[in-house]
């Protein structure tokens, strides 16, 4: 199999799972709140939840990918494939258009701008959480390494002083 074919297979596999997860989330949202609201607002809410979760995950994956904590294959599978199929900008645009067509201008503004702002912030949150945890992990590792080096120096110093003392 060629490298390009392998790349496509990774993205496709992630996309398949992302698609399934999206349907599961949408079904859960519909089952929980459809009886209390109309189908358009439920659809918007489901899409917003999916896009927020996807943005959070994609932000975290991007931070890991930037720090080379995940391989290119994981990025292709989870970042491009899974998140790409799980989230959808086209659904936001369609639902915004439907709101416009129905002259629900307040809903249009709240939903379209809200989706943009909230999903941008959740992507940043995902990135920040991973970056912060990576930085803490690195500082803990540096501290542990420093402690280990200090301990080695102390042990070596003790051994030298023992060998230099008359017995």
Indicate the annotated binding residues for Na(+). 84, 87
Q: Which two tokens stand for residue 100?
A: 């416009």
User: Tokens 């500082």 identify what position?
Assistant: 139
Token code pair at residue 167: 């017995």
Cβ atoms of 56 and 125 within 8 Å: the answer is yes
Annotated binding site: 84, 87
Q: Report d(CA 1, CA 137) in Å as an integer.
A: 38
CA angle 100, 113, 26 (to 5 degrees): 80
- 106/104 Cα distance (integer angstroms): 6
Distance between first and last Cα of the chain: 71
Closest CA to 54 of 87, 14, 19: 87
């Amino acid at each position: 199999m060629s490298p390009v074919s392998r790349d496509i297979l990774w993205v496709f596999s992630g996309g398949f799972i992302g698609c399934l997860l999206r349907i599961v989330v949408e079904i859960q949202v519909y089952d929980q709140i459809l009886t209390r609201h109309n189908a358009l607002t439920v659809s918007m809410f489901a899409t917003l939840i999916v896009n927020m979760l996807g943005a959070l995950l994609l932000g975290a994956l991007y931070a890991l990918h930037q720090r080379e904590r995940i391989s290119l294959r994981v990025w292709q599978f989870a970042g491009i494939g899974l998140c790409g199929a799980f989230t959808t900008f086209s659904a936001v645009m369609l639902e915004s258009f439907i709101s416009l067509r129905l002259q629900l201008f307040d809903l249009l503004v709240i939903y379209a701008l809200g989706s943009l702002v909230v999903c941008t912030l959740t992507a940043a949150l995902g990135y920040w959480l991973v970056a912060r945890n990576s930085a803490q992990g690195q500082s803990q590792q540096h501290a542990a390494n420093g402690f280990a080096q200090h301990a080695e120096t102390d042990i070596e110093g003790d051994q030298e002083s023992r060998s230099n003392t008359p017995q």
